[in-house]
Structure 1
């Protein structure tokens, strides 16, 4: 058994953990990262990156199928074919390249990677069981970044035909019939992707609309997109179990059988708080999550936590921002994690992006708001992309016009998330956005026009 001394020990190599380790390396802090699988965590290996690769492949295939019948601008093609095994291999190749890149960055910044299962013995000590034995790491600072796992349903445990998003991304073939339980962003994204690749998809959602965490105006274009690709949606419905080759669903009109070769359960994620020694630490909790302050410090001195284990929203960029914060604080810098502006994106067709508060959330927080909405039907670039369905919406304080939130739904709007977040982060006012010259023709012009409309000065509507 080897004993290793470190300034910083990071338990978990996902986005929050590896970014904390790299940043600590930037500061010259002796850092050890413990990870029992591959660095990159859920996002890089079985989440964000592979799912977006699969979504892109599905988009390309669906477009080729549509073009076989011709297009408004004169393009027609032959009937396409999809080699799904090659699609999965291409996706796996991208993941492997990025995984190798993260490992190289850690090495470049002097981070020692211990590949094995880590168990905290106390707030300073971790036992790591590797393939060649056990090591003990003693550190001044411990960063908990253990991530999350897909949530199971009592009547639908994972196994056999019942899969999580992890298995969905590595299926040997496109299922003929796919039932998706949960219409949050994971269920909506993957359900639509498999529908585009030829599966007969039914989405079952307990709420009264898909994407229940987003407001109805943003959801409507997405629902139209699902309908256009033949996705059946059952709302106010609950999965009750399996019956042979069918999913049993309790719907408003009674129990129904939904034939399914695979059942994708996408009802959220749960923090990984078991199996690594949490019970040995005296940490304050918030429900199932570890409570942290604005510096990502826990209730124990020298113990920090980042990422999914600290609560919602469970997004990789939130974890990364927290990882940077922790490393900077440990290095002696004045730093705090600002949770007000964490953009969220749904990669459906059309896409959804949200930063800050929705108009309803702003009003509920006690603000009198001015709202401006500009439809892509009046945006020249959207027309050239055949993406007129959607809009950009901005909400600002009525008294001083400080921007509180920005949302958009439309083709390609995910790439506008940075501009939306930057405007809120820098305390922009409606006049700042409206006065910024936006290139023409671009989708971003709708951002400017929404601000002009909130000011009562819209030009193109």
Structure 2
């Protein structure tokens, strides 16, 4: 039986980063992956969706160019070529990860790893193998959550795992779930000419994000003629004369029938517990419970990523994977969740970091908020993306930056600026005094910070 210092179960953004980090710490490392390295993020999530969202952005620009005096002729779409490009991007990145693991001397095992309390792992593949570990990092990720709805067993539907294999552009689609997965797919399909309806049981889209950002997104999606049904639940699904039927009920008890070609279930994800049931780990609801050092209830076994809940973001999983790897290598480092950006790649983009205004007030901070609307920003006007804002949330007495919310073009790149200031414990004075390049949308960060201080020039 081969033995390793660290065995990582799962090769997604939490797992492969953990494996490489542990190897760089001088550990002997094995990585077990049942499917392709890169996990959901690379193969069925972040990367394919952002590739298609880039296509959607180009389609939107071509349509808008008519108003700019640029006439490109009749627009035609090839879903086959779009999907082929998506597959090329995935393949290239997957090959890169494999090369990194090989360069790091990480042994990669293909198969499902079943972990035992004595830290042996059986790998089911063509031939069952058993390996032994001193420390184990669980990074088995998550799978789409599909709620129990009448008719689900009789009508075909997609999840975020299957939608990327779609062969034809649907005439219409009903997306169940108005979180970040649902609204991103709404933008993709709307750009392709599909009639899109989004159903969300909460009172607004992106219910866990800033209300102003949610309102801005709602306005933008409605401009795209996307139908948004909030405070609405799905009672059942079935077949009708003209296609699939989604029966919905709104908050007032009114019922309606939505006819569509396709249904996408995008109500969230649940942890993938396959292969770890024998461990009988302590749980918090459906998630594996860990301490500040990402160690589970069994000493020497760590867990990261979607398996432990939290933000369920790829970069969070990677950060956790790195911390877990260091701890599995003999160090003692706590995971810091204070400054983790959250990004939604819709049109407009939404990015935030730290506390929302509501969260900050609930924690007892004396909060002061400033907001700068992009309608006054030269770059936003030049690129015809003026519908957005930059909001800074800070503690009133000392100017400690508590959070930031950005809506508009490129804000998923821009959010790193306020995040960096928060990481270095910078104040709002320092955020405002930095010199930003002009013309850029990033100048709105300076304007919002200066406005907070009562010193805004263009506010």
Q: TM-score, normalised by structure 2?
A: 0.96
| 3-state SS, counterpart of residue 11 of structure 2 | coil
Q: How does 1:122-271 map to 2 (within 5 A)?
A: 122-131=117-126, 133-155=127-149, 157=152, 161-244=156-239, 245-251=244-250, 252=252, 254-271=254-271
| 3-state SS, counterpart of residue 212 of structure 1 | coil
Q: How does 1:338-357 map to 2 (within 5 A)?
A: 338-357=336-355
- What is the alpha-carbon distance in structure 2 between the residues aligned to residue 256 and residue 396 of structure 1? 44
Of 7, 16, 25 in structure 2, the residue corresponding to residue 18 of structure 1 is 16
Give the drift of 1:334: 4.3
Is the contact made by 2:155 and 2:237 (CA closer than 8 Å) also made in structure 1?
A: no
Q: How does 1:55-454 map to 2 (within 5 A)?
A: 55-67=53-65, 70-72=66-68, 74-131=69-126, 133-155=127-149, 157=152, 161-244=156-239, 245-251=244-250, 252=252, 254-273=254-273, 275-278=274-277, 280-454=278-452
Give the drift of 1:123: 4.3
Give the drift of 1:305: 0.5
- What is the alpha-carbon distance in structure 1 between the residues aligned to residue 118 and residue 397 of structure 2? 48
Q: 1:106 to 1:158 in 2, by over 3 A?
A: farther
Comparing 89-98 with 206-215, greater Cα deviation is found at: 206-215
Give the drift of 1:299: 1.7
- What is the alpha-carbon distance in structure 1 between the residues aligned to residue 329 and residue 202 of structure 2? 45
Give the drift of 1:417: 2.1
Is the contact made by 2:154 and 2:238 (CA closer than 8 Å) also made in structure 1?
A: no
Unmatched 5+ stretches in structure 1:
none
- What is the alpha-carbon distance in structure 2 between the residues aligned to residue 142 and residue 130 of structure 1? 20
Give the drift of 1:62: 2.8
Q: 1:360 to 1:277 in 2, by over 3 A?
A: closer
Is the contact made by 2:136 and 2:328 (CA closer than 8 Å) also made in structure 1?
A: no
Give the drift of 1:407: 0.8
Give the drift of 1:451: 0.8
Give the drift of 1:13: 0.5
| 3-state SS, counterpart of residue 161 of structure 1 | coil
Name the Cα RMSD after superposition.
1.4
| 3-state SS, counterpart of residue 264 of structure 1 | strand
- What is the alpha-carbon distance in structure 2 between the residues aligned to residue 325 and residue 391 of structure 1? 34
Give the drift of 1:159: 8.0
Give the drift of 1:398: 1.1
- What is the alpha-carbon distance in structure 1 between the residues aligned to residue 390 and residue 64 of structure 2? 27
- What is the alpha-carbon distance in structure 2 between the residues aligned to residue 272 and residue 191 of structure 1? 26
Give the drift of 1:158: 7.4
Is the contact made by 1:161 and 1:261 (CA closer than 8 Å) also made in structure 2?
A: no
Q: How does 1:47-62 map to 2 (within 5 A)?
A: 47-62=45-60
